[in-house]
Amino acid sequence: MAIRSNREKMAEGVPLAMIIKREMKVFPELVMLSQPRSVYAERFRRLKTNLVHHYGDDAKVIVVTSGIPGEGKSTVSMNLALAFATEESPRTLLIDGDLRRPSIGPKLNPPPQLGLTEVLDKRATLVHAILQLSNAPLHVLPAGSKAGDPHQFLTSPEVKDLFLELRERYDRIIVDTPPIIPFTDADSLGALSDGVILVARAGTTPKSAYAQEVAAVTSTKILGTVLNSSSGGLAGGKPYYDDYYHSYYDEDRKK
């Protein structure tokens, strides 16, 4: 009997997302999986509880961003999504909305081939792109292939229709996005959300950076701020983002 290729199976309408079992890679910072009974995991459960208590269903779609790279926004996104995704309430979706430098797809094993980009340009449907993890009751929509113009993708009529459809399917949607100071992507997706969570790194993020991060949110309300990393307050500092627009991709361009 001939063995069909993955491409042939997809052409016949069998979703590979349902055939291939994927799991989230467990790394130390992903405390909801690596240390589920730790005080660190409990902090994300408390963040979830606070969001539910203060906003309820009025915070169904939550955008997570930071002012600049390196503040841990993607780790916060993943841990928060895992905190919402329980066996009792499995209808939680994590979206990698960073079409510039995706962070969530590389954390999946095996790595996905389809995602948000393919859905928006109609090369794939949600049933082919959304993945259900085998080691957590969480659904994931990866970024997919890198978009030529991420801003154009994220402000298209298709993305608005997509989010309307996803609201019908899920109880909670967490969207990881690029840093909001050098890029407008997070604010564009914020217009389709119920609010944004800002991430800052304790002892590292300059006060001026945090102020600009807050000011950059114009399309939705701020649900709160996660002070990431070690204890301490927001630090003052020198100008911090002069080269970030380009250096955000330097690591990938050098590969």
pLDDT confidence tier of residue 228, bands split at 50, 70 and 90: confident
* pLDDT for residue 160 is more than 90: yes
Among 143, 131, 35, residue whose Cα is nearest residue 83: 35
* pLDDT for residue 242 is more than 80: no
Are the C-beta atoms of residues 148 and 181 closer than 8 Å to each other? no
The length of the chain, given as a count of residues? 255
pLDDT confidence tier of residue 65, bands split at 50, 70 and 90: very high
* pLDDT for residue 9 is more than 60: no
pLDDT confidence tier of residue 37, bands split at 50, 70 and 90: very high
Phi and psi of 79, rounded to 5°? Answer: -65, -40
pLDDT confidence tier of residue 176, bands split at 50, 70 and 90: very high
Q: What is the pLDDT of residues 90-142, one digit of tens each?
A: 699 999 999 999 999 999 999 998 999 999 999 999 999 999 999 999 999 99
CA distance 151 to 52: 30
Distance, C-alpha 28 to centroid of its chain = 18
* Superfamily name with CATH number, domain 25-254: P-loop containing nucleotide triphosphate hydrolases (3.40.50.300)
Task: List the chain domain ranges.
Answer: 25-254
